């Protein structure tokens, strides 16, 4: 008979026994050794029927095709720009993928994107050796300036966005900032200096408490106490998600438009 040894949302450490018996199935970040399923990372347990999986509490960002990320221009080559993506890997943005307008042969590329500048880009390809190709041509992708960049662990990104973008909307409302969340954990905040600092603090708080329940309420309380503003109680309607761990890799819309009431129809 099978026996599940942990509860939903328990924090487990590598090598910890999660379940005994052949009826249970090892999901992501777990493995089976004879009859027992063990944890393969430091994470939150998530039990769905007979599948036990773990959501890592931290860990390196793993680049995936389609991810919108924030990168920093590291270097300028003949064919484009080399961009730092918060991975160990080389990411190239080719001249032809940077903009729709025609770029002349001898045009100074640093005028378009200079070293040290940041841009919102999208991953179009990841080779087996993890070389990354980027584009800046799609809607919402561009160079950014002003404001500040906050870095969090990429695994916490879904929590910063929240179910149906509830968390990120909450922060935007209280701080009045434009916020763009990159899947690689880099977040761009732009607003007043007080607003930016408050958003920074809220995001860091989310990162620290990401494994806790009732996080949206906690953050709402924090923001209200700091900004003195009271907002509508955020009603998070539980969408019929497959798992209860907030870990969808294809997270809801990470883009923010430049309007002040960001109502993006993000995918869920």
Which residues sit at the interface with other proteins, rule CB under 8 A?
11, 13-17, 29, 31, 33, 38, 40-43, 56-60, 62, 72, 87-89, 116-118, 128-130, 144-149, 153, 155, 188, 193-194, 197, 205, 208-209, 211-212
The residue with tokens 């916020």 is: 179
- Shortest distance, position 40 Cβ to other proteins, whole Å: 6
Structure tokens at 164: 């149906």
| Residue nearer to other proteins on the CB measure, 96 or 208 | 208
φ and ψ at residue 39, rounded to 5 degrees: -80, 140
Helix extents (H) in the chain: 157-161, 166-175, 193-209, 215-227
Minimal distance, residue 234 CB to other proteins, in Å: 19
C-beta of 147 vs 165, nearer to other proteins:
147
Nearer to other proteins, 27 or 165 (CB): 27
Minimum distance of other proteins from residue 111's CB (angstroms)? 17
**β pairing state of 43-48 and 30-33:** unpaired
Sign of torsion over alpha carbons 153, 203, 160, 27:
positive
Phi, psi of 209 (to 5 degrees): -105, 20
Q: How far is the CB of 5 from other proteins (least distance, A)?
A: 13
The conformation of residue 90, written as its DSSP 8-state character, comes to -
CB closer to other proteins out of 137 and 218: 218
The smaller minimum CB distance to other proteins, of residues 153 and 268, is found at: 153
């Amino acid at each position: 008979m099978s026996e599940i040894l942990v509860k939903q949302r328990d924090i487990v450490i590598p090598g910890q026994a999660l379940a005994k018996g052949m009826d249970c199935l090892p999901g992501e970040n777990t493995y089976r050794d004879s009859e027992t399923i063990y944890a393969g990372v430091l994470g939150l347990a998530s039990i769905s029927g007979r599948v036990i999986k773990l959501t890592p509490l931290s860990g390196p960002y793993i680049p995936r095709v389609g991810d919108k990320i924030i990168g920093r221009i590291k270097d300028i080559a003949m064919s484009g720009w080399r961009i730092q993506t918060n991975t160990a890997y080389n990411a190239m943005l080719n001249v032809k993928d940077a903009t729709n307008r025609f770029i002349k042969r001898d045009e100074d590329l640093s005028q378009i994107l200079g070293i040290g500048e940041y841009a919102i880009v999208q991953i179009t390809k990841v080779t087996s050796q993890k070389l990354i190709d980027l584009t800046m041509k799609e809607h919402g992708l561009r160079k950014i300036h002003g404001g500040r960049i906050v870095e969090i662990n990429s695994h916490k990104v879904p929590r910063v966005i929240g179910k149906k973008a509830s968390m990120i909307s909450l922060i935007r409302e209280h701080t009045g900032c434009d916020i763009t969340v990159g899947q690689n954990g880099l977040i761009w905040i732009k607003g007043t200096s007080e607003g930016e600092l408050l958003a920074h603090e809220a995001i860091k708080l989310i990162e620290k408490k990401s494994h806790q329940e009732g996080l949206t309420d906690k953050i709402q309380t924090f923001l209200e106490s700091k900004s003195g503003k009271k907002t509508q109680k955020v009603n998070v309607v539980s969408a019929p998600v497959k798992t209860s761990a907030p870990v969808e890799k294809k997270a809801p819309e990470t883009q923010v438009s430049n309007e002040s009431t960001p109502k993006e129809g993000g995918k869920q």
